[in-house]
Amino acid sequence: MNILALEPWFRGTHQRFLEGIAEHSRHRVRALTMPGRFWRWRMEGGGVTLAEKARAAVTDGFAPDVVFATSMVNLPAVLSLARPRLDGVPVVLYFHENRLTDLRPPDEERERAYAITNYLSALAADRVVFNTESHFDEFIEALPQLLRDFPDFTNLHTVRALRKKSTVLHPGLDLGAHDAHAGERTRRSDRSSPPIVLWNQRWNYAKNPEAFFRVMNRLDDVGADFELILAGEHFRDPPAAFDRAFERYAERILHYGYAEDFDAYSRLLHRADVVVSTARHEFFGVAIQEAIYCGCHPLLPNRLSYPELIPETHHRPLLHAPILYEDTDELFDSLREIVTGAERPLPPDTLRDMPARLDWPEQIGAYDALFEDVAGMHATGAAA
């Protein structure tokens, strides 16, 4: 089968996700992409460029059996502007995130037009896929309020239709690529040095770094010994909490800033002992899963996507430090016990096994089955 993939934000996790599908799928995948910058313009005008690319691909002889688009695609625009080349081709829309429920800072007004684009794209797709159950639930719960804001013709009945054609499929991750640097953890285990606490998520409001540094400051105030790795992607005007942390902990910060090079990033993950999330909001959390695979004991909020992604057997592990916490006081207690040695983190081999099911060789079968199912249903419908 031929899969025509559309991605207007070809960067970071979106890029690695699409490359993983193309590399591991038993089907032929042709990716039509745009550079990952100017996200608003990608949602507003990217559909014009992707439609041009789709027309050119079909004219060149690539006859798609399925179109696979991600959540930043203005799907109605692409399908209308690419006609008749994509007429009759079934479409899968994959939600990495959405602009209806993504968390904005208090002083930043939500731009409803992007949420409507997500909604219309979901309506236009034959199958809608969310990356976690929590993401699916929050989108479906929030959608009626968006529609009720319309003055008339609210089309609330479409919520049920969207629910019916939606499913959940966790993204595949290239976890095996981290194996090349596993020796970094072995070398660290042979040295006597303070525990290393990792922050490898984005530096933004939704990830709530202020809460993280408040906990680290409390640990410092009680004399706990630790070092920090502060990685993660950030754009303009990162939260001031990072500058304050650099002033306080400069001598204990082993890395500061975005680790764009994969090898350097992987080595950082293998050096760290604990990875912490204080996120206010999270759709999936690729960075956390990568850190767990590399042997970092996770301390995560008992909400959002985390309870779903942490195996239930480890929600309250026996004889080892906990993973899921209820509030920052519990996070402080758990982190203090780990860095002081009062609690044992989970062994690296156990941690490695937790996200192993997300590795692409394990996940790709579900994606191929999805493509085949959508194409088969469409073929059956066309024959009827």
Task: Give me the pLDDT at residue 379, please.
Answer: 65
CATH superfamily, domain 2-173+360-383, is Glycogen Phosphorylase B; (3.40.50.2000)
Share above pLDDT 90 across residues of the chain, in percent, rounded to a whole number: 88
Q: Which residues of the chain have pLDDT under 70?
A: 186-191, 378-384
Task: Give me the pLDDT at residue 319, please.
Answer: 76
Q: Reduce the DSSP state of residue 276 to 3 states and report it.
A: strand
Task: Give me the pLDDT at residue 183, please.
Answer: 81
Identity of the amino acid at 312: E
How do the domains of the chain map onto residue ranges? 2-173+360-383, 175-358
Fold of 175-358: Rossmann fold (3.40.50)
Helix axes 209-221, 328-339, angle to 10 degrees: 50
Residue 347 CA to residue 198 CA, distance in Å, equals 17
Q: Reduce the DSSP state of residue 255 to 3 states and report it.
A: strand
Cβ density class 12-31: b for 16+ within 10 Å, e for less: ebbbbbbbbbeebbebebeb
Tokens at 138, concatenated:
């929050």
Task: Give me the pLDDT at residue 109, please.
Answer: 85
Contact 233, 261 (CB under 8 A): no
Residue 319 CA to residue 349 CA, distance in Å, equals 16
- pTM exceeds 0.85 for this model: yes
Give the strand pairing for 196-199 and 253-256: unpaired
Q: What is the DSSP letter of 176?
A: G
Q: Is 341 left (phi over 0), alpha (psi -120 to 50) or beta?
A: left
Identity of the amino acid at 278: T
Strand order of the β-sheet with 227-230 is 253-256, 227-230, 196-199, 274-276, 297-301, 324-325
pLDDT 10s digits, 82-134: 999 999 999 999 999 999 999 988 888 888 999 999 999 999 999 999 999 99
Query: Same fold for the domain at 2-173+360-383 and the one at 175-358?
Result: yes
* Of residues 103, 102, 104, 100, the one with CA closest to residue 122: 100
Residue 54 CA to residue 9 CA, distance in Å, equals 16
Contact 300, 208 (CB under 8 A): no
